[in-house]
Amino acid sequence: MRTIREGLVSEELQRRFHEAHSVLILTGAGVSAESGVPTFRGGGDSTVWRGMPFEIISSAGMLQRDLPAVWEWFNYRRGKLEALKPNPAHEAIARWQDVFKELSLVTQNIDGLHQMAGSRNVIELHGNVWRARCLDCGARSNARDLRFDRGVPLCFDCGGALRPDVVLFGEMLPTGAFELAAVKAESCELCLVVGTSAVVYPAASIPEIARAAGAFLVEVNPERTPLSDLCDEVLTGRAGEILPLLCQQPNREGGHDASYASIERMRPC
């Protein structure tokens, strides 16, 4: 395994980027860090709420015990997200969906910034903070339409209590999401893992499935993770700085600029 010094993308990755038809991208909180979303294991102020660590306030047990408190926590998080915008990493990934024959975007993030950047058919492993789900009939609603005058918002269809449509600790992933991601991982040629500490399963098994099926595995992260040793290439740095360069056109001299190797492409991306 070769570790790529900051700023240098290997010829091999260029070639594989150039030739790939099916690509899978797995993202985590780090892809949204440059938009101002705190990461979970990078510290920051959102890991403790009213004295409770986020693993407690964001747990299935808390949902049973105190649904209004869970809503307060997720309303606080939505409030923090409201003003935030996608960054160049989200935008590069959104552009790639029109470049590769098949691009599967699998995210652990619930912030909706991929969709805001224009990404379609995002496979959300952990749900989405901008949606609510009925505890009785399962109907989903847009969280922006909810009324909180009696603490817990009610379902527009059946009047049942709504909960945030996110996966809480101790809960199963949404039906089909992981299975679909695993199928895509088994058939992709290139798998990019961007901004995840790769410690939370089953999401962290997606790149392992892709690698075992023969995909070229690339990690983009300013820090090493438990996945780094399994990767064919590790790009050490921030996603918002590295991803946009993976798709740059060759410079005029036909060579490569000093810092970043570029990719020759038939069509602009």
Which residues are known catalytic residues?
126
CB 32 within 8 A of CB 195: yes
Single-letter code of the amino acid located at 24: L
User: Largest Cα–Cα distance of the chain, in whole Å?
Assistant: 65
Q: How far is the first Cα of the chain from the last one, in angstroms, to the nearest whole number?
A: 29
Residue carrying structure tokens 């600790």: 169
Which helix H or strand E contains 162, and what residues bound it?
Answer: strand 162-166
Give the residue with the Cβ less far from ligand APR, 154 or 180. Answer: 180
Q: Which stretch binds ligand APR (CB under 6 A): 14-22, 151-159, 182-190, 193-201?
A: 193-201
Distance CA 233, CA 228 (A): 8
Give the residue with the Cβ less far from ligand APR, 93 or 155. Answer: 93
Q: In the set 143, 174, 196, 218, which binds ligand APR (CB under 6 A)?
A: 196
Is 108 near ligand APR (CB under 6 A)? yes
Beta strands 123-124 and 190-194 are unpaired
Q: In the set 13, 25, 30, 164, which binds ligand APR (CB under 6 A)?
A: 30
Q: Binding string, 199-218, against ligand APR, x = CB under 6 A?
A: -x------------------
Q: In the set 221, 231, 232, 235, which binds ligand APR (CB under 6 A)?
A: 221
Distance CA 90, CA 84 (A): 12
Q: In the set 20, 35, 40, 246, which binds ligand APR (CB under 6 A)?
A: 40
**Rule CB under 6 A: which residues touch ligand APR?**
28-30, 33-34, 39-42, 108, 126, 195-197, 200, 220-223, 225, 238-240
